[in-house]
């Protein structure tokens, strides 16, 4: 019986030829990562329970300060200090202010076929490069930092078969919002969401990451796209040559398959306060906004910034509306500067922030007040996610967010693309 790509990656990680959904395995972890959301807790546990011990491999444990950077309070400064000290002591890679953890991992570490575990739910992003990534809590992560292994139950796989091409003004972000709206926030609980079909070859790496990144918003354990030449070239261009290329067998067994034609997808918006509360932008009615945000590990990469710039070029954002833009990494930021995108943003009235989780995380910068409305390219629109408990967050593509910032209310971007 055939296997899916997810099963093949997990079989390699546990040293078996075959694994089946439901089986509990002990997997070797290729990389583990932790950010300033919770690492101080790992460090406390590590230093109490594993006193005098070392991390399993100092090249494979990565600490990234991205959620609240630069520190906005003395409490956060202490967290960062703790991470810095631990990283120095254990000689592990440490990043501070270089961008959102998942984007840094993609730029500097991820290769196809790896198993990567991190203390962050959007670790599933690495499926865009054909790696199995999943998030765990900080106790599990502490144990992995020490042993380099973890137990995992092999998930069932759902197959999302994609065909056709996006129409103008429609992006991978709209597709994943549509999928989550269709299957629901628990539609893929503990399953792998595999994206396959003839349309995949036309999807850029950024697009694939966008799809896999939000798999967790449907409850998925991971998201995966089989790596192709595009991925191999990207990874090699970043100096990483060792990889394990897996693809699903023709007779692989899926729990369920879904078919999507990209040409049928419209710009979508997730309305407060759940990510699966999704409607086409055309059905949203008049929703006035106070703030707009472009950034995050979902939608803050160069391709999204280019789309936003196309819409904002030569125009001014609506009076009394704030547009905040945080490139997903320093590298993306520098690229945006080089391409003149930052000039376009600033001339339109946007504030361009340092590369970090920013408004997506909603506790460091750009928080919104009582009764205010944000439209965002972040990952979540839970109540209070971006500030006051009585505020509203809508999720949409970078194009829709940019168009909305220009008009001052949630706006269909089609027709505004310059
Ligand atoms: C801080 C971290 C634990 C959290 C997550 O796991 O996703 C955060 O990144 C988020 O997006 O809510
Ligand atoms: S950008 Fe948002 S979703 Fe991604 S890691 Fe940061 S807070 Fe979490």
Asked whether residue 101 is marked as a ligand-binding residue, the answer is no
pLDDT tens-digit series, residues 265-323? 999 999 999 999 999 999 999 999 999 999 999 999 999 999 999 999 999 999 999 99
Query: How far, in Å, from the CA of 351 to the mean position of ligand 2?
Result: 19
pTM: 0.98
Q: What is the pLDDT of residue 356?
A: 98
Q: Confidence class of residue 387 from pLDDT cuts 50, 70 and 90?
A: very high
> Which domains does the chain possess?
5-261 (3.30.499.10), 269-407 (3.30.499.10)
Asked whether residue 357 is marked as a ligand-binding residue, the answer is yes
- What is this model's ipTM? 0.99
pLDDT tens-digit series, residues 41-76? 999 999 999 999 999 999 999 999 999 999 999 999
Query: How far, in Å, from the CA of 284 to the mean position of ligand 1?
Result: 28
Asked whether residue 364 is marked as a ligand-binding residue, the answer is no
Ligand closest to 327 (CA) is 2
CB contact at 8 A, 4 and 254: yes
Query: How far, in Å, from the CA of 379 to the mean position of ligand 1?
Result: 10
Cβ < 6 Å from ligand 2: which residues?
67, 100-101, 120, 122, 296-297, 357, 360-361, 378-379
Ligand closest to 326 (CA) is 2
135 lines ligand 1 (CB under 6 A): yes
Query: How far, in Å, from the CA of 397 to the mean position of ligand 2?
Result: 16
**N- to C-terminal Cα separation, the chain:** 51
Ligand closest to 365 (CA) is 2
């Amino acid at each position: 019986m055939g296997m899916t790509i997810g099963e093949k990656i997990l079989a390699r990680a546990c040293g078996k030829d075959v694994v089946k959904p439901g089986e509990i395995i002990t997997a070797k972890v290729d990389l583990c990562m932790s950010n300033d959301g919770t690492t101080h807790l790992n460090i406390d546990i590590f230093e109490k329970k594993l006193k005098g011990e070392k991390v399993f491999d100092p090249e494979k444990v990565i600490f990234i300060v991205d959620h609240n950077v630069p520190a906005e309070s003395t409490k956060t400064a202490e967290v960062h200090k703790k991470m810095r000290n631990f990283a120095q002591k254990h000689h592990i890679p440490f990043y501070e202010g270089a961008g959102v953890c998942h984007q840094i991992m993609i730029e500097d570490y991820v290769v196809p076929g790896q198993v990567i575990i991190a203390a962050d739910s959007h670790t599933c992003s690495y499926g865009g490069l054909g790696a199995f990534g999943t998030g765990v809590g900080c106790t599990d992560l502490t144990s992995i930092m020490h042993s380099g292994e973890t137990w995992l139950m092999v998930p069932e796989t759902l197959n999302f078969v994609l065909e056709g091409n996006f129409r103008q003004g429609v992006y991978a972000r709209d597709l994943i919002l549509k999928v989550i709206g269709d299957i629901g926030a628990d539609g893929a609980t503990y399953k792998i969401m595999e994206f396959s079909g003839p349309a995949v070859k036309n999807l850029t790496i950024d697009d694939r990451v966008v799809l896999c990144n939000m798999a967790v918003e449907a409850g998925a354990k991971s998201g995966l796209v089989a790596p192709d030449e595009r991925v191999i070239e990207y990874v090699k261009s970043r100096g990483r040559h060792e990889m394990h290329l897996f693809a699903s067998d023709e007779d692989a067994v899926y729990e369920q398959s879904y078919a999507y034609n990209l040409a049928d997808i419209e710009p979508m918006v997730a309305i407060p306060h759940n990510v699966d509360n999704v409607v086409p932008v055309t059905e949203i009615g008049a929703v006035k906004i106070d703030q707009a945000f472009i950034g995050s590990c979902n939608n803050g990469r160069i391709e999204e910034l280019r789309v936003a710039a196309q819409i904002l070029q030569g125009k001014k954002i609506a009076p009394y509306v704030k547009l905040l833009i945080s490139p997903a990494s320093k590298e993306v930021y520098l690229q945006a500067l080089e391409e003149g995108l930052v000039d376009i943003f600033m001339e339109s009235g946007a504030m361009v922030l340092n590369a970090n989780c920013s408004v997506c995380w909603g506790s460091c910068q750009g928080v919104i007040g009582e009764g205010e409305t944000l439209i965002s390219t972040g990952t979540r629109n839970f109540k209070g996610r971006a500030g006051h408990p009585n505020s509203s967050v809508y999720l949409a593509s970078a194009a829709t967010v940019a168009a909305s910032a220009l008009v001052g209310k949630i706006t269909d971007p089609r027709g505004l693309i310059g």
